[in-house]
Structure 1
């Protein structure tokens, strides 16, 4: 059986980044694990040192349908300083001709610019490289045909 996985992004402003990624992925805030009423209560059980990234605040997002990986955004004091070694590919659904699929990719990248992203590079007909509000690179491409 394959292992499941979550994705975690370090960030400076978890609420801003959470709002962006909820828009980009259609994700929702993930409730804290039962029986805890808040994430703070849940984190308190681990007795983490004060300088642990988990204690600085964060946001936890999930796919409302339960299909995609969880996305954790952990607030850290230092800013991003280099290119990501791992990035997210946002796949735009739908079929059709290559031109129709590319039009959907362009429309999605424009929607994400409105949500706070910026375009870094465009590979005509294939994918758009973007950065989220804190500069984390990701791509927008059509879902496999």
Structure 2
């Protein structure tokens, strides 16, 4: 599998550099067959946002992640960590000790996600009352 090349910014998007697909087309999440949609799907997941947030402060063991992210099941935490590792966002390190010690940390690519996902988490915490009010109005509660 070839690594996508980069392309010059589109007009009207200063500083934005898009990846080029192997066939030369620019990445476009609005196009159903574009693989960039898979990346969007991965980062739009709530567990991804929370795991990246936890790991943005440094390396953590599985048990530390589980304790920090209330409500995540072992199954979901494991699946999400594996997916993030596969996507090059998280690195898993196994230390040769008894018992084996496993740690997770963000890769350089993962660190590029930390700030955008922090902004989304901050937005959710800042605007939850407005969202709940809108839901009540929509559902006919007031």
TM-score class normalised by the smaller sequence: under 0.3
Q: Which has the higher contact order (CA 8 A, sep 6+)?
A: 1
Greater per-residue strand proportion: 1
TM-score normalised by L of structure 1:
0.27
Bigger Rg, structure 1 or 2: 2
TM-score normalised by L of structure 2:
0.27
